[in-house]
Structure 1
Amino acid sequence: MSSAPEPHPAKRKRSLLGGLRSSFLTGLVVVAPVGLTLWLMWTVAGWVDGWVLPMVPAELHPERYIGVNLRGIGVLIFLIFTVIVGWMAKGIFGRALIRMGESIVDRMPVVRSVYSGIKQIAETVFNQGEEKFDKACVIEYPRPGLKAIAFVSSSAKGEVARLADDGDPLISVFLPTTPNPTSGFLLFVPRSQITYLDMSVEDAAKLIISAGLVYPSEKKPDPAKGKKSA
Structure 2
Amino acid sequence: MAILPRTDLLDEYHSHMAREKTTFAGDFKRFFVRGLAILLPSVLTLWILWQAYLFLDRQVAEPINRGIRAGILLVIPSTVPQAALPTWFVISPSEVERFRQTLAKAGSFEAQRLLKKSDAELTAEIRAQNFKTFWDNHWYFRFIGLVVAISLIYLAGRVLGGFLGRKLYRHIESFMTRIPVFKQVYPHVKQVVEMIFGEKQMAFKRVVLVEYPRKEIWTIGFVTSSGMKSIAEHTGGKTVTVFIPSTPTPFTGFTITVLESQAIDIPITIDEALRFVLTGGVLVPGKQSTGAIDGPMVNPVSPLASSSIDPAQTVVPGPLDPTR
Is TM-score (shorter-chain normalized) higher than 0.5? yes
Q: Supply the distance in 2 between the matched residues of 1:120 and 1:206 (Cα, whole angstroms).
A: 26
Who is 2:168 aligned against? Answer: 97
Letter in 1 for 2:246: T
**1:187 equivalent among 256, 261, 283:** 256
2:175 matched to 1:167?
no
Q: Residues 113, 198 of structure 1: CA spacing in aligned structure 2 closer, same or farther, 3 A cutoff?
A: farther
Aligned-residue offset at 1:180: 1.2
Query: Which letter maps to 2:155?
Result: I
Q: Any idea what SS the aligned residue of 2:287 has?
A: coil
Q: Does 1:214 align with 2:283?
A: yes
Equivalent residue, structure 2, for 1:85: 156
1:198 is displaced (CA, Å) by 1.6
* Alpha-carbon distance change, 20 to 112 in structure 1, aligned in 2, over 3 angstroms: closer
The one-letter code of the counterpart of 1:179 is P
Bigger relative contact order (CA 8 A; separation at least 6): 2
2:42 pairs with one of 18, 34, 39 = 34
TM-score calculated relative to the size of structure 1: 0.69
CA offset digits 1:127-178 (Å, max 9, x no partner): 335561111222222222112222211122255x356411242x22221111
Q: 1:112 to 1:19 in 2, by over 3 A?
A: closer
Q: Distance in 1 between matches of 2:184 and 2:226?
A: 26
Identity across matched positions, percent: 28
Which structure 2 residues correspond to residues 1-230 of structure 1 after superposition, within 5 A? 14=22, 23-53=31-61, 55-56=63-64, 58-60=66-68, 65-67=135-137, 78-105=149-176, 107=178, 111-112=182-183, 114-128=185-199, 132-157=203-228, 159=230, 161=231, 164-169=234-239, 171-218=240-287
Q: Which residue of 1 aligns with 2:304?
A: none
**Is the Cα contact below 8 Å between 1:136 and 1:199 reproduced in 2?**
yes
**Distance in 2 separating the partners of 1:143 and 1:194:** 14
Question: Which deviates the most, 123-132 or 83-92?
Answer: 123-132
User: Structure 1, unaligned stretches of length 5 or more?
Assistant: 1-9, 220-230
Give how far 1:205 is off: 0.8
Distance 1:174 1:75 in 2: 38
Identify the range of structure 1 (201-210 vs 83-92) with the bigger mean alpha-carbon deviation. Answer: 83-92
User: How many residue pairs are counted as aligned between the two chains?
Assistant: 206
Which is richer in helix? 2
Q: Which has the larger radius of gyration?
A: 2
- Two-structure CA RMSD over aligned residues (Å): 3.8
| Uncovered stretches (5+) of structure 2, i.e. residues with no partner | 1-17, 70-130, 289-324
